[in-house]
Amino acid sequence: MKFKTRSFDDVPGVLEVRDLTVRLAGNDTAPPVLDRVSLKIRQGETVCLVGESGSGKSVTSLSIMGLLPKGALVATGGRIELENRNLLELGPQAMRDMRARKISMIFQEPMTALNPVIRVGDQIGEVLDTHTRLPAREKKARVLDIMNQVHLPDVERIYRSYPHQLSGGQRQRIMIAMALILEPQLLIADEPTTALDVTTQKQILSLIAELQETHGTAVLFITHDMGVVAEIADTVHVMKLGQIVEHAPVEDLLRRPRQEYTKQLLQSVPSLTPRAPRAMSADGTVLSVSGLQKVYGAHGVFVRREPTRAASDVNFSISRGRTLGIVGESGSGKSTVARCIMRLVDPTDGDIRVADQEIARLSRRELRPYRKHIQIVFQDPFRSLNPRWTIGRSLIEGPLNIGTDKQAALKRAAELLTLVGLPDDAVNRYPHQFSGGQRQRVAIARAIAMEPDVLVADEAVSALDVSVQAQVLDLLDELQQKLGIAILFITHDLRVAAQICDEVVVMQHGRIVEHDTAANVLANPQHPYTRALIEAAPGRQWDFANFRELQTA
């Protein structure tokens, strides 16, 4: 792994944050949201701010921009110094002058960060309108120039496009163009690649690095992804509950973390080296899919649209006690496959066999007795439990449907909660009294309550912080060992796939492009797309959990 090693000791600083304290407005007794945060960024330096959700990374960046939500958060102490001026003391007009000229910011969601009703060229041009007085022709020339610099294709056409006509990666390029057109000294990037696919992420990261080089911009990069940190950081600051717990040059931090919290964080990063595969059991196949196809078509008077093949010719099978991963980027059709198997959508063609019964063509009513054999856990823990129902009621919903006696089902629910590592008195509580990770455990317990042969996990750990993610993965592993359940694990994250899967299926454009054991797919990928995916995984030569380079076996 090659880290950045440039020393910044002699380089002049751009921005210095000292003892920044931010509190909830009108509440001096609650613990501060940011507690004496200090950090320094120098010319051309990339400072990464890492931490889990709620650690205060984004609040730090919004404080620097002077964009804290009015009436909700206030900076109550400390200084933010740029060019010997304390930004916290600037009036609204003076602060507006700083934005885009001295400090710029790009955000996480390129899908929502651009105004949907204004052409993107005009949105970039607006920065010039606000801060400069240029004749129209020159203005357009500069906008097109920066659009070329961020490597957008066919800039004249994109100049006139609306955001919804562009891809996520293109929109993020527009955001970067907008941020850098006036050559600010500091660029704040708040999780700019989190919403993007890995291959796009890689392009955007190298674009930021390239522009940083040519313009000498300092970058404050906020992320939760240690892989990204390893790729791009000069200096790393680790945040936890509003405080900076540790900061060091990137290689120091990854090799010799000093704080317990940093170690924990690094140890939770799943390794790209696959775990040992489970034995193929003799019981054989519990789920098999063959020739599965799903076409979404639009038809109607005056509507002409190409039908979309969300999945075509998908074949695989899983046997008892094993895990099959479906890996792919957004739009690859992996979730469509999961939803077809669950019969949440009706497949256009193909066979799905569960418990020796073909279920793809059963009517909803005929299907119901077979539902128990296959259960699902969804991505969003906050929406997968009915907020009006107690945990107990959610847990017994399924068993009651298959005729279990209510008392027995309740007793079983308490046992299940213990099994997934929650107190058994949780039966009487409501979902909002639990954290995201705990809710995901409840969702797993609800699925297990049906004693299914197959558990479908649709991005089941993607919304969780790494430390929680590691715990939930452990839980699934444990349950599989105990109950011998087969798992179909859908994920976009190769690291997660490596840690839980015996076999991996790689999907692209609705088709399976590669299907092999996890070890083979990761170590010896055959299809170019799989290779591209693996190469795009950030920090792939580093073994985070052991603080050293990856040892190739």
Partner 1 sequence: MLGYIIRRILAVIPVMLIVAIFVFLLLRLTPGDPAAIIAGDAATPAQLERIRTSLGLADPLHIQFLTWAKLLFQGDLGTSLISRTPVTQMIGQRIWPTFNIAILTIALSVLIAVPMGVLAAWRHRTWVDYLVMAFSVLGFSIPVFVIGYLFIQAFSIELRWLPVQGYAAPSEGFGKFLSRAILPCLTLATIYVALIARMTRASMLEVLGEDYIRTARAKGVKETVVLFRHALRNAAVPIMTIIGTGFALLIGGVVVTESVFNIPGIGRLTVDAILARDYPVIQGMILLTSGLYVFINLLIDLSYTFFDPRIRY
Partner 2 sequence: MAASPQPAARLQWLFGAIAVPRGWRAGAGPIIAAIVLFVIVFLALAAPLIVPHDPLAMDAVQRLKGPSDVHPLGTDAYGRDVLSRVITGGRISLFIGLGAAVVSVMIGLMIGLVSGFFRTADAIIMRIMDSLMAIPSILLAIALVALNGPSIWSVMGAITIPEIPRVVRLVRSVVLSAREEPYVEAAIALGSSMPKILWQHLMPNTLAPLIVQGTYICASAILTEAILSFLGAGVSTEIPTWGNIMAEGRIYFQLKPSLIFWPGLMLSLCILSINLLGDTARDMLDPRLKKREA
Q: Which residues bind partner 1 (CB under 8 A)?
A: 65, 67, 71, 92, 96-101, 104-105, 107, 109, 112-118, 126-127, 130-131, 162, 164, 175, 178, 301-304
Residue 387 contact, options partner 1, partner 2, none, Cβ 5-8 Å cut-off depending on partner type: partner 2
Least distance CB 213 / partner 1 (angstroms): 23
Q: Distances from the Cα of 376 to the Cαs of 277, 316, 431, in angstroms?
A: 23, 18, 18
The partner in contact with residue 127, picked from partner 1, partner 2, none with C-beta cut-offs of 5 to 8 angstroms by kind, is partner 1
Q: How far is the CB of 134 from partner 1 (least distance, A)?
A: 16
- What's the closest the beta carbon of residue 9 comes to partner 1, in angstroms? 31
Instruction: Kindly list the distances between the CA atom of residue 109 and the CA atoms of 120, 171, 172, 315, in Å, as whole numbers in the listed order.
Output: 16, 9, 8, 34
Minimum Å gap between C-beta 441 and partner 1 is: 31
Within its chain, how far is the Cα of 255 from the centroid?
25
Please identify, using beta-carbon distances, which residue of 11 and 67 lies nearer to partner 1: 67
Q: At what angle do helices 120-131 and 168-180 cross, to 10 degrees?
A: 10
Residue position matching structure tokens 């020796």 = 356
Q: Is the dihedral of CA 530, 536, 540, 541 positive or negative?
A: positive
Q: How far is the CB of 385 from partner 2 (least distance, A)?
A: 6
Residue-by-residue DSSP string for 149-201:
HTT-SSHHHHHT--GGGS-HHHHHHHHHHHHHTT--SEEEEESTTTTS-HHHH
The nearest distance, CB 383 to partner 2, in angstroms, is 5
Q: Return the DSSP state at 289.
A: E
Structure tokens at 327: 């890996």
Choose from partner 1, partner 2, none: what does 97 bind? Cβ within 5-8 Å by kind.
partner 1
Question: What residue 297 binds from partner 2, partner 1, none (CB within 5 to 8 A, per partner kind)?
Answer: none
302 binds, among partner 2, partner 1, none (CB under 5 to 8 A by kind): partner 1
Question: How many helices (H) and strands (E) would you count in the chain?
Answer: 20, 22
- With respect to partner 1, which residue has the nearer C-beta, 64 or 253? 64
Q: Are 538 and 194 in contact (CB under 8 A)?
A: no
Closer residue to partner 2 in complex, CB, 156/346 = 346
| Pick 130 or 435: Cβ nearer partner 1 | 130
Nearer to partner 2, 256 or 368 (CB): 368
**Cβ proximity to partner 2, 383 vs 531, nearer residue:** 383
Within 10 angstroms of residue 481's Cβ, the number of other Cβ atoms is 11
- Enter the DSSP assignment of 358: E
Distance in Å, CB of 93 to partner 1, minimum = 9
In the complex, least distance from residue 175 CB atom to partner 2, rounded to whole angstroms = 24
> What DSSP element (H or E) covers 265?
helix 260-267
- Measured from the Cβ of residue 198, the count of other Cβ atoms closer than 10 Å reads 19
Nearest approach in angstroms of CB 517 to partner 2 is 29
User: Which one, 258 or 383, has the nearer CB to partner 2?
Assistant: 383
Q: Which of the listed partners (partner 2, partner 1, none) does 112 bind, with a CB threshold of 5 to 8 Å by partner kind?
A: partner 1
How far apart are the C-alpha atoms of 240 and 259, rounded to whole Å?
11
Measure Cα distances from 40 to 43, 218, 551 in Å: 10, 10, 35
Largest CA distance in the chain: 78
**Which partner in partner 1, partner 2, none is near 126 (CB below 5 to 8 A by kind)?**
partner 1
Query: What sign does the dihedral 169-173-178-183 (CA atoms) show?
Result: positive
109 binds, among partner 2, partner 1, none (CB under 5 to 8 A by kind): partner 1
Q: Which is nearer to partner 1, 302 or 403 (CB)?
A: 302
Instruction: Please choose which of partner 2, partner 1, none residue 206 contacts, taking the beta carbon within 5 to 8 angstroms, the exact cut-off set by kind.
Output: none
Strands of the sheet containing 73-82, edge to edge, are 34-42, 13-24, 73-82, 85-86
What's the closest the beta carbon of residue 25 comes to partner 2, in angstroms?
Answer: 11
Q: Give which of partner 2, partner 1, none residue 113 binds (C-beta under 5 to 8 Å, depending on kind).
A: partner 1
Residue ranges binding partner 2 (CB under 8 A): 72, 342, 344, 364, 368-369, 371-372, 374-376, 378-380, 382-388, 394, 397-398, 401-402, 430-434, 436, 443, 446, 450
CA dist 220 and 214 (Å) reads 17
Measured from the CB atom, the residue of 61 and 323 that comes closer to partner 1 is: 61
* Complex with partner 1: residue 96 or 411, whichever CB lies closer: 96
